[in-house]
Amino acid sequence: MCGLVRRLVVAVVMVVVVGVMVWAGVRNLRERRAQMAAAQANEVTLTKADPAASGPQISEDGMSAPSIRGQVAPGFTLTDINGKKVSLADYKGHPVVINFWATYCGPCKLEMPWFQEMIGKYQADGLVVLGLDQDDGMAKEKIAEASKKIGVTYPILLPDDKAVKAYQLGDYLPETFYVGKDGKVVEQTFGVNSKDAIEADIRKAIGS
C-alpha cells in the first residue's frame, strides 16, 4: 500500500513538473514572438526598385539616394489611374506626402494603409498624399486594381522618368518625401518605417 501511494505521489509530482516546464516554454515563446514583432515594426525594409540596377547611390545618411531635405520639392504634372492630370502645384499651401511605390514592393503595401489612415486623422490640416507608381510598362488597370486591393483612395499617379530624375530617386522602394506648407522637403525617408515614425514626419510637414 505504501509503495502504491509513493508511486502515485511521484507520478503527481512529475505531472506538475512537466506542466510547469510546458507553461514556461509557452510563455518564453510568446515573449520571443512579441520581441520579434516589435523589432520588425521598427525595422526599415527596402525593396530594390530596379532589379537590373548595379547598385544604390549612397546619400549622406548612408541610404540609397542623395538627400533633398530643405530644398523646394520639384514640381510635376502627372496622370492618375483615372486619366486625370494631377499637379503638385495644385496643393500649394498644403502638407504633402509624395510616396514612390510599386505593386511588386511588399514594404510599400505595408505602409500605404497608414498613409490612408493619416489622411483621415489630419484632414483638418489639409494633408495630401500622392502615390507615384514605379511599375515599368504595367497597364494602369493593373495598378488601379493593386491600389484598390491595398485599400487606398488617394491619387495614384502613373510612372514618369522626369519625376524620378527630379527627386533623384535611388534604387530602392519605398521612398517618401514629406513636403511642408512652404513647399520645401522637410523629411525624406527610405524603406518602410513604423506608423509612429510616419506620423511624426507628417507632423513636421504640417508644422512647417
Say if residue 24 is in the same domain as residue 120.
no
Enclosing domain of residue 129? 47-207
pTM: 0.72
Distances (CA, A) of 84 to 81, 87, 103, 155, 156: 7, 10, 20, 10, 10
Tell me how many domains the chain contains.
Answer: 2
**Mean pLDDT of all residues in the chain?**
81
Judge whether 91 and 166 are in contact, CB under 8 Å.
Answer: no
157: which DSSP letter?
E
Is 37 in the same domain as 90?
A: no
Which CATH number goes with the domain that contains 145? 3.40.30.10
Candidates 189, 117, 181; CA nearest to 153 is 117
Residues 55 and 152 in one domain: yes
Model pLDDT, residue 22? 39
What's the pLDDT at 172?
87
pLDDT of residue 43: 42
Coil, strand or helix: which one is 178? strand
Summarised one tens digit per residue, pLDDT across range 101-149 is 999 999 999 999 999 999 999 999 999 999 999 999 999 999 999 999 9
Q: Are residues 23 and 92 in the same domain?
A: no
> 43 vs 146, which has greater pLDDT?
146
Cell of 12: 503527481
